[in-house]
Amino acid sequence: MKNVLVIVYYFPPMGGSGVQRPLKFVKYLRKFGWNPIVLCPEPGAYNVFDASLQKELNEMEIEVHRVRGNTPLHAAGERKVVLPEWLENLLRKISTVFWLPDNKKGWIKQGLTKAEELIKNKKIDIIFASAPPYSNLILAKEIKKKFNIPVVMDLRDDWLESHLIKYPSAWHYSKMKAIEKETLSLADQLVTINSYISGSIDKRNVNSNKTIVITQGFDPADFDSEKEKNLQSGKLSFLYSGTFYPESGPNIFLKAMASFLEENPKYKDVIELQFQGVLSEKDRSFFNKHKLERNVKDFGFLPHSEAVQNLKNTDILWLNNTHTKNSAMLSLGKTYEYMASGKPILAMIPDGDIKNTLTHYKAAFISNPEDIEALVDNISKIVSLWEEQKLPKPDKEFISKFDRKTLTQELASIFNVISNE
């Protein structure tokens, strides 16, 4: 069995969506002839930690090497920190001014030292680095330059045109563009999560190889643990899972729901609005603004295993994407676990990757993010179909394409080709 050195930043005990993709690749790679050896920094200050994901990692018996982070987020040690939205936005702006490609670059030096040690003591056949943070890719680039080991770089977001990066000046944009090109040009293969990101990267000609798409997905093992329970007898529940981006809060959905209930007051005691994740004070303020606090059930942040169970227990799942910058490129990770649950999905999304995916799902009610009237109409349709017990069923064959095992096999196939060249 060949060895792959997996370079990640977000890894258990950290929780959240950024952990899922690398963790599940690590989980299944050995089924396809590749032994993963993980290199990551020690967890620093972070907003969510997930004991269930750490337990899952422990059960894999994977070799994990952690090094000192030496980033601003490691100065206070490992601890949960939830910042006010205004402070988070301010720190993100400061980071972009002073740290390129990102404020995680402080772990590159320690990571390179540990990588050199591992390469000397083990036969490493390939390097796999997943970003963001993009500092992971710079670390992989430095390993490639020093040892000429093949490198696969995985991008869960676009780099230069990331929807989360706002450049403070033309100089910063130009500097990031140069860093991106220098780094990605040395990859033996680039992988992204959708064709929109691939097209953006390929258009910039930062690598001579065509970028390959391996989508986000779901782990079927997460959905086999317990049978669905009917916990909402007499209630129609709408669940949002995860943390809202600053530009994509719950306001539009709540405004539409308030409008529907005002026109149809008989459902005020029927509809329950569920949230699991981290809600900001701004998010919570919308409950009162739209007089919906009595309809809200806030689970708070849950371990991933419990969050999945809630996906199976609810009636309707909803998501939104109101980003103004490159919104078509977003492939919200929750979309794939939503589909795995088999539940109808209410989506407020623009044209782009998510909309294309949900159109094939066959059980989605889709409207543009700003079209309140269309959203109210979709809520009305859902309520009527629920009362008639005729909510749509998804296309199971389509869902199966996003099985994490299948996606890991695709990644292993790339490793096989590159390692044999």
User: Both tokens of residue 119?
Assistant: 């390469």
Q: Is 33 left (phi over 0), alpha (psi -120 to 50) or beta?
A: left
User: Both tokens of residue 239?
Assistant: 């669940």
Element (H, E) at 3: strand 2-7
What is the pTM (predicted TM-score) of this model?
A: 0.92
Question: 127-151 burial by CB neighbour count: b if 16+ within 10 A, else e?
Answer: bbbbbbbbbbbbbbbbbbeeeebbb
Looking at domain 2-217+403-419, its CATH superfamily turns out to be Glycogen Phosphorylase B; (3.40.50.2000)
Please tell me which residue, 396 or 226, carries the higher pLDDT value. 396
Band of pLDDT at residue 17, cut at 50, 70 and 90: confident
Fold agreement (2-217+403-419, 221-401): yes
**Domain edges within the chain:** 2-217+403-419, 221-401
Provide mean pLDDT across the span 377-382: 98
Distance CA 381, CA 387 (A): 10
At the second CATH level, the architecture of 221-401 is 3-Layer(aba) Sandwich (3.40)
Distance CA 201, CA 198 (A): 5
Average pLDDT, the chain: 92
Please tell me which residue, 283 or 232, carries the higher pLDDT value. 283
User: Both tokens of residue 81?
Assistant: 């920190």
How many degrees, rounded to 5, is the angle at CA 139 between CA 170 and CA 172? Answer: 5
> Cβ distance 64 to 43 under 8 Å?
no
Q: pLDDT at position 92, please?
A: 74
In 3D space, the residue among 212, 183, 270 whose CA is nearest the CA of residue 418 turns out to be 212
Asked whether the predicted pLDDT for residue 156 surpasses 60, the reply is yes
Q: pLDDT at position 347, please?
A: 96
Asked whether the predicted pLDDT for residue 246 surpasses 80, the reply is no
- Portion of the chain with pLDDT greater than 70, in percent: 94
